[in-house]
Amino acid sequence: MNAKQIKDNPAPDADVKPLTAALSRLLAPQGITVKINCRQNCLHILLESDEVPPATSLSLISPEINRLHPPTLRVAKIYGRQKGQTAPAWSQVLPLTPTPPAKVSPQPPSLQQLARQGDVTAINTLINRALAHKQTVAEVKLQENSLAINLKSDTAPDEKIAVTLICRELVQLKITVTAPINITGQKTDDTEPTWSRAIAPTELAALTKLELPQPPATVTASKSTQGKKRKGAKNPETDITLTGENAEAAAMMVMMTQPRPRSYLILSILVAAFGFQPLGFLAVQQSWTVIQKCREGNYSAARAASMVAKFSGILGGIVGVIFYISTYQVMHARAHNGKTPSIESTFKQIQQAPENLNIPSELLK
């Protein structure tokens, strides 16, 4: 291919517009124009100027050629020619380096995916999350292809509740278990475990359901002081009193079956913004307490805070409405008594005695 073919033929085989623009920016200050064409698996670059372009221009444009050349080409031929001439004054062959493929960084796997792959650290993190509300710390180790889980808390963890929560977490994660799981529980200050439990893989699904041990705890329920059952509610809220040696397990069952107390947060915010602010701020504080206590699993304290939030919100709204109505009545009474002339009275005076006022008659029409 000669220089005339480079000038007349387009470049159908590859996109050379980015390379043409980059070389033109580099060589324009020197008065050199650039034409590029792709033919026969080769990149042809023609440099033209009023004088013959110096061959040293090749060192200036080589980095851009290697960076922006079409990835399918391996050779570039550069020609230097004076304008008005048909034959190039010089030519150079430049090998092109292959363009490396763009690296796509894969998404890091989630904790659940790592746990399914057998990552002990991920399993340890997820089990600690499941036991956080019980103030229990779990330490998971892999011993002879079997999971060993040691539980520690200020008081010895309840065996049935701890085993149930751990089995439930393993089943939800769909972790393939082929060897028995050894779970131990102990106090934080003790060196020896208080209890130990070995669970076969076939027992995991059966142990995910929390059953009250025998003899069960005595559960007495009375109607809550929050009032009558709301319309459409499936279960009325009750005050639960738990006694007996298995009270903690029964409390766990009650917590899982009882509905969450309402926080009345929206009502509290509206009262704090537009109603009686002292009661509104109290209602907002108690609403936030309801949310926090529900997260901790303390439903008894959450119900008490819910009652305060509801009462404060309703009372603050009533007091706010009374205050606004009273304020309006006082202002209206002052206006009618003549202390503060109202808009209606002023307009009537204008209509009745326009001659006493210095108002243009055009404005009264």
pLDDT digits (tens, 9 = 90+) for 356-365: 545 445 444 4
Centre a 10 Å sphere on the Cβ of residue 263 and count the other Cβ atoms it contains.
Answer: 24
Are 305 and 267 a contacting pair, CB within 8 Å?
Answer: no
Q: Which of 138, 116, 117, 113 is nearest to 127 (CA)?
A: 138
On average, the pLDDT of the chain sits at 75
pLDDT digits (tens, 9 = 90+) for 272-311: 888 888 888 888 889 889 888 877 778 788 888 889 989 8
d(CA 272, CA 270): 5
pLDDT digits (tens, 9 = 90+) for 117-168: 778 888 888 888 888 888 888 888 887 777 888 898 888 888 888 888 888 8
Of 20-34, 100-114, 284-298, 324-338, least confident by mean pLDDT is 100-114
Q: What is the pLDDT of residue 132?
A: 84
Residues 79, 84, 87, 93, Cα dihedral to 10°: 0
Range list of H helices, the chain: 3-8, 17-27, 57-68, 111-116, 120-130, 159-173, 247-257, 265-274, 277-296, 299-336, 343-352, 361-364
- Tokens for 292, please give them: 């926090």
